[in-house]
Amino acid sequence: MSKMRYSRRAVLKGGAAAVAASALPAPMVWAQEIKDITLRQFGTGVSNLNDVANKVKEDLGFTLEMTALDSDSVTQRAATQPDSFDIADIEYWICKKVWPTGNLQAMDTSKIANYDKIVGIFRDGKLTPESTIAQGTAPHSVGFVDGPGGTSFATEETGWMTLIPTIYNADTLGIRPDLIGRPIETWAELLNPEFKGKASILDISSIGIMDMAMVCEAMGEIQYGDKGNMTREEIDKTMAIFTEAKKNGQFRAFWKTFDESVNLMASGEVVIQSMWSPAITAVKSRGIECVYQPLKEGYRSWGGGIGLSSSLSGMELDAAYEYINWYLSGWVGGYLMRQGYYSAVPETSKNFMTENEWGYWFEGKPATDVITSPTGDVLAQAGETRDGGSFYDRMGSVACWNAVMDENQYMVRKWNEFIAS
């Protein structure tokens, strides 16, 4: 029923929008009808927050429907069900997989007001002009195409973006310092027999393989040509090391979902594991000690962005651009940064954070007052500093990005074998 209503409305609007767009490019014209517009967004639970949808309704007037899924389902839906969404909130490595299907359309950067303020990572790949680009699927390498219909990625800024960057972070291992009782400095500790039966790794192949590579490299077992694009032999060797560890009972569990990692850590089932930043804060907010441990080999980083369905056009497309511009204008950025992520345009987000919050989350300064999450949970007391320090310290020591490699198909099958072994 709803589907029929939708299609009829879409037809009517499509026509109206075409007329409006040609006659009067100003968005004011359709302010009346914008209330009827519904954009369907899906993505991981990380940024598909109902608070964002509510704020969109308030600020922009239209309805944003959010569906939160796990990373694999997100990939699946983006690749196979183009009709089920208008806006895809996906990670850059997913984009590399999905873009060739033609389900997404390139975005005109000239319509993005804050484009020039987007951090360098997403444009030329460099955080600062001196930075070197980390291995893996770096966001800028899949961030641009040649034109509106481009199917292959461009190597430089072209004015046509695949995803508008929204959220990113540098990941490392999470530990329970109270249960470990000694400093942890290297990724190699994940396979240290000392933590037999108390370690965990995430069961999402594209991310897990990178954590594995960080570990194997840190152990000195494997020298990778490029961790983000392994050869079959490198994949075999990596999997062999981890399969051996699994057989020896190194791992307590694998986690696939955010919540599992929190519970594993909070309940003491696991003392060292791959983890995501807000999972650490979730453990901490229960009064349990938990550290997002910076390691000498550096971070494994990831980035997410918003992509538009290729079927979006007319008024819906205009609304989507409105939404993107609003997204980068600061409110969401502030909301995400106060959870420990980073915003693509930090300077606009600053306006939506207190000086204390900005100092703690972005500049790595000691908190001058209690730090709370957007939902009001206490995350840090005055005097505490963020694990890993400032934005430039953390994003500056990224060793690799989450990646999809040429041998992805092979890796995926090997991964399945590893999980099943």
> Which residues make up the interface to other proteins (CB under 8 A)?
3, 40, 42, 45, 48-51, 54, 66-70, 72-73, 75-76, 79-81, 83-85, 97-98, 100-101, 197, 200, 203, 205, 246, 251-260, 262-264, 266-269, 282, 286-287, 375, 404, 408-409, 412-413, 415-417, 419-421
Closer residue to other proteins, CB minimum distance, 123 or 338: 338
Closer residue to other proteins, CB minimum distance, 48 or 313: 48
CA 47, CA 290: separation in Å to the nearest integer?
23
Closer residue to other proteins, CB minimum distance, 185 or 417: 417
Closer residue to other proteins, CB minimum distance, 162 or 397: 162
Are 222 and 234 within 8 A, CB to CB?
yes
Running DSSP on this structure, what letter comes out for residue 228? T
Bridge partners of 264, per DSSP, are none
DSSP string, 327-383: HHTSHHHHHHHTTT-EESSHHHHGGGS-HHHHHHHTS-PPPSS-EE-TTS-EEE-TT
In the complex, least distance from residue 391 CB atom to other proteins, rounded to whole angstroms: 25
Q: 3-state DSSP call for residue 97?
A: helix
CA 71, CA 136: separation in Å to the nearest integer?
18
Bridge partners of 169, per DSSP, are 302
Closer residue to other proteins, CB minimum distance, 128 or 375: 375
In the complex, least distance from residue 19 CB atom to other proteins, rounded to whole angstroms: 28
In the complex, least distance from residue 192 CB atom to other proteins, rounded to whole angstroms: 18
Closer residue to other proteins, CB minimum distance, 155 or 421: 421
- The token duo for 282 is 């979730």
In the complex, least distance from residue 122 CB atom to other proteins, rounded to whole angstroms: 23
In the complex, least distance from residue 204 CB atom to other proteins, rounded to whole angstroms: 9
- The token duo for 158 is 């072209």
Closer residue to other proteins, CB minimum distance, 217 or 316: 316
In the complex, least distance from residue 27 CB atom to other proteins, rounded to whole angstroms: 27
Half-sphere exposure of 15 (CA within 13 A, CB side): 5
In the complex, least distance from residue 93 CB atom to other proteins, rounded to whole angstroms: 11
Are 207 and 296 within 8 A, CB to CB?
no
